[in-house]
Amino acid sequence: MPCEEQMVQTLKEYGHRPTPQRLMILSAVRHSQDHVTAAEVLEQVKESYSFIDLSTVYRTLDMLKQMRLVSETDMGSGRYAYEWLGQDRHHHLICNGCDRIELLVDEFLRSLGTSISESYGFEADMDHVVLFGRCRDCEGESE
């Protein structure tokens, strides 16, 4: 099934109308190669639909976050960034020393989520986690 048809079907399954604006916003996040801010999504969508505003982008991103199709994360910049949550979940390690970002595979946090559930009866949202600390190189510099 083509990507656009899948997005329409997914929105309908969740009871949302697949408006052109929603589809453009969803497409902008889904096809981005990196995390994107709401302002970046707005600029991309405005290239083909100039009547969109930032409040529509934020409302749609919030809806997509509630549907667990996108993640909303502060990657250390003080601004939220959004990323498509595909089948392969991943997380990030961000160094406070050099700002390097490393991908962390989901299997490390999946077991943590299971342990939290078993110990506390709490279902943690582990879709997209960012951990801040110091990388090996920066830790070595401080010794």
- Domain with 116 in it: what CATH number? 3.30.1490.190
pTM tops 0.85: no
Tell whether 27 and 76 lie within a shared domain: yes
Percent of the chain at pLDDT > 90 equals: 58
In this prediction, residue 82 carries a pLDDT of 93
> Residue 134 sits in which domain range?
90-141
CATH number of the structural domain spanning residue 34: 1.10.10.10
Is the pLDDT at 54 greater than 90? The verdict is yes
Average pLDDT over all residues of the chain: 89
Tell whether 79 and 94 lie within a shared domain: no
Of the candidates 29, 65, 31, 30, the one whose C-alpha atom is nearest the C-alpha of residue 42 is: 29
Provide DSSP, 43-78.
HHHHTT-TT--HHHHHHHHHHHHHTTSEEEEE-SSS
Tell whether 80 and 22 lie within a shared domain: yes
Tell whether 94 and 77 lie within a shared domain: no
Number of domains in the chain: 2
In this prediction, residue 63 carries a pLDDT of 95
In this prediction, residue 28 carries a pLDDT of 94
Q: How many CB atoms lie within 10 A of CB 16?
A: 14
For tokens 């961000």, what's the residue?
Answer: 94
